[in-house]
Structure 1
Amino acid sequence: MMSDKAAPKAVVADPPRREQLLGVAAELFLHNGYDSVTVEMICAKAGISGPALYRHFQGKQALLIAVVERGLRSLHEFARATVESELDPATALETMVDFHIKSVMNAPPTPLIFLKNEHAFPESDRRRVRREMNLYAEEWISTVVPLRPDLSEPEIRLLTHSVFSMLNAIATLNKGLDHDSIVATMSHAAIQALTAIPHPDNKAP
């Protein structure tokens, strides 16, 4: 015989609220740093109460880890899919550059957030994030290698990470420029830096 007592309702997640918290926290962690950001600051900017935050995250540290992992996962998954589906390395590189730039413009760059707040990560999470960053970089490096026969792999690795730094700087240096100008300027700069083989007469002695 069935009981008249109603079964408890399942708790339904609130994806929009969770995404809102991730976006707010990303901005605060980038511009203020983990140690200066409080749960109260995050909640106030998101327009929610403390208990509402804890429905989605165990605390400030868990929120920081989620912010960084979500952004890196998106970048790496896109780069991997691009490299696997696009046979032409030049086209693959252009596609990854475009996605990276637009990602930085749409949300605070995950690598900068991690580097600024790395001290707040538990060791196991720090290692996992570092591995993910390296795997993302490897997708770019393997794509640039056939385009730069004039460079050794260590040189390509250095160049690629330097381009990452340049593109991530868009988050703080894009004042006064419209969206299309930023994309066009930075895409051209990145592609030139990664693929332009210097003319023999212009090489340093």
Structure 2
Amino acid sequence: MSTPTRNRGARRTEILAAAARLFAERGFHGVSIEELGGAVGISGPALYRHFSGKDALLAEMLLDISSRLHSGAAELVTAASGPQEALEALLGGHIDFALREPYLITVHDRELGNVPEPQRRQIRRLQRLYVEEWVTVLSELRPGCAPPRLRAATHALFGLLNSTPHSAGELPPEAAAELLHAMALSALVNVH
């Protein structure tokens, strides 16, 4: 009895991944329901069994990644033995995300404005909570630095780490991860 639910969940995940790729390549408005369905081997109208529309699909996509980033960061920080280990874990987690899911970075940057307002507020709230996980760790490492400065540094760091849609393909993932990690630590050295 659990097979249909599992298959439905797997199909939703497949649709979300295909939509992220298509939205990143052609933009939200440049992709039709029929093209989304075709990308996963179903008819466009069959998508309505999984999502009420393209905007609902986009909202779920961005809510999901925002939620995963926030909850993952909270778990990493909680499990760390101290702020330096927490920072290393946060960096590793975000770099892994940026290298694995560059399409989601592009979609978020370009398409957040197409998410309906209630969900957009939820996404922004989750993003603020994610940033605050970083700010809390950085404030322990840089106790004399004001939170607004640490917040600005965190956003700048995300700009660096989220550059992967433009750069990820030129280096093997391990080399890209190593480079991003080294650059991120170098950038943080000057935050005070």
SS of residue paired to 1:43: helix
**2:34–2:45 Cα contact (<8 Å) kept:** no
Residue 150 (structure 1) shift: 5.0
Match of 1:106 in 2: 100
Correspondence 1:56 to 2:44: no
Residue 30 (structure 1) shift: 2.3
SS of residue paired to 2:169: coil
Aligned 1:30-109 pairs, distance under 5 A: 30-108=24-102
SS of residue paired to 2:170: coil
Correspondence 1:12 to 2:4: yes
Aligned 1:1-205 pairs, distance under 5 A: 12-13=4-5, 14-108=8-102, 110=104, 112-149=106-143, 151-194=145-188, 196-197=189-190
Give the Cα–Cα distance (whole angstroms) in 2 for the partners of residues 51 and 40 of structure 1. Answer: 7
**1:52 counterpart letter in structure 2:** A
Match of 1:6 in 2: none
Give the Cα–Cα distance (whole angstroms) in 1 for the partners of residues 117 and 3 of structure 2. Answer: 32
Give the Cα–Cα distance (whole angstroms) in 1 for the partners of residues 40 and 55 of structure 2. Answer: 17
Structure 1 spans left out of the alignment, 5+ residues: 1-8
**2:33–2:44 Cα contact (<8 Å) kept:** yes
Q: TM-score, normalised by structure 2?
A: 0.89
Go from structure 1 to structure 2 and tell me whether the alpha carbon gap of 1:109 and 1:85 turns closer, same or farther (over 3 Å shift).
farther
Residue 136 (structure 1) shift: 0.5
Go from structure 1 to structure 2 and tell me whether the alpha carbon gap of 1:197 and 1:150 turns closer, same or farther (over 3 Å shift).
farther
Quote the sequence identity (%).
33
Comparing 12-21 and 143-152, the one that deviates more:
143-152
Go from structure 1 to structure 2 and tell me whether the alpha carbon gap of 1:168 and 1:118 turns closer, same or farther (over 3 Å shift).
same
Go from structure 1 to structure 2 and tell me whether the alpha carbon gap of 1:48 and 1:82 turns closer, same or farther (over 3 Å shift).
same
**1:109–1:168 Cα contact (<8 Å) kept:** no
Residue 54 (structure 1) shift: 1.6
Q: Which has the higher helix share?
A: 2
Residue 33 (structure 1) shift: 1.8
Residue 109 (structure 1) shift: 5.6
Q: TM-score, normalised by structure 1?
A: 0.84
Give the Cα–Cα distance (whole angstroms) in 2 for the partners of residues 30 and 84 of structure 1. Answer: 33
Give the Cα–Cα distance (whole angstroms) in 2 for the partners of residues 127 and 176 of structure 1. Answer: 35
**1:167–1:186 Cα contact (<8 Å) kept:** yes
**2:87–2:137 Cα contact (<8 Å) kept:** yes
Structure 2 spans left out of the alignment, 5+ residues: none
**1:79–1:136 Cα contact (<8 Å) kept:** yes
